[in-house]
Amino acid sequence: MTAVRVLVVTNMYPTEARPGGGTFVADQVRSLRATGAEADVLFVDRAAEGRRVYRGLAKRVRADVARSTPDLVHVMYGGVMADVVTRVVEDRPVLVTFHGDDLQGNAGNGLLGALSGWYSTVASARAARRAAGVVVVSPHLRDAIAKSVNGSRVWVVSNGVDLGRFRPRDRAECQRALGWDTGRAQVLFPARPARGEKRFHLAAAAVAMLGQSGVAVDLHVLDGVPHEEVPTWLNAADVVLLTSLREGSPMVVKEALACNVAVVSVDVGDVRERLAGIEGCFVAEPTPEDLSHNLGRALARTERIEGRERVAELSLERVADTLREIYGVLTGAR
In a domain, 166, yes or no: no
Q: What is the pLDDT of residues 4-37, one digit of tens each?
A: 999 999 999 988 888 888 899 999 999 999 999 9
In a domain, 165, yes or no: no
Percent of the chain surpassing pLDDT 90: 78
pLDDT band at 150; cut points 50, 70, 90 = confident
Q: What is the pLDDT of residues 37-79, one digit of tens each?
A: 999 999 999 888 888 899 999 999 999 999 999 999 999 999 9
Q: What is the pLDDT of residues 240-289, one digit of tens each?
A: 999 999 899 999 999 999 999 999 999 999 999 999 999 999 999 999 99
CA distance 97 to 6: 14
The pTM for the full model equals: 0.91
Residue 228 pLDDT greater than 60, yes or no = yes
- Domain identity same for 250 and 147: no
Q: Report the CATH number at residue 298.
A: 3.40.50.2000
How far CA 206 is from CA of 157, 201, 286, in Å, comes to 33, 8, 10
Q: What is the pLDDT of residues 185-202, one digit of tens each?
A: 999 999 999 999 999 999
Domain that holds residue 147: 5-160+315-331
Of the candidates 191, 216, 161, the residue with the CA atom closest to the CA atom of residue 266 = 191
How far CA 233 is from CA of 229, 256, 297, 298, in Å, comes to 7, 10, 21, 18
Q: What residue spans of 19-109 are helical by DSSP H?
A: 23-34, 46-49, 57-68, 79-88, 101-104
- Domain identity same for 187 and 151: no
Section 170-174 average pLDDT: 97
- Domain identity same for 104 and 205: no
Residue 108: what pLDDT?
Answer: 53
- Domain identity same for 194 and 81: no
- Please state, as a whole number, how many other Cβ atoms lie within 10 Å of the Cβ of residue 236: 25
Contact 188, 272 (CB under 8 A): no
In a domain, 110, yes or no: yes
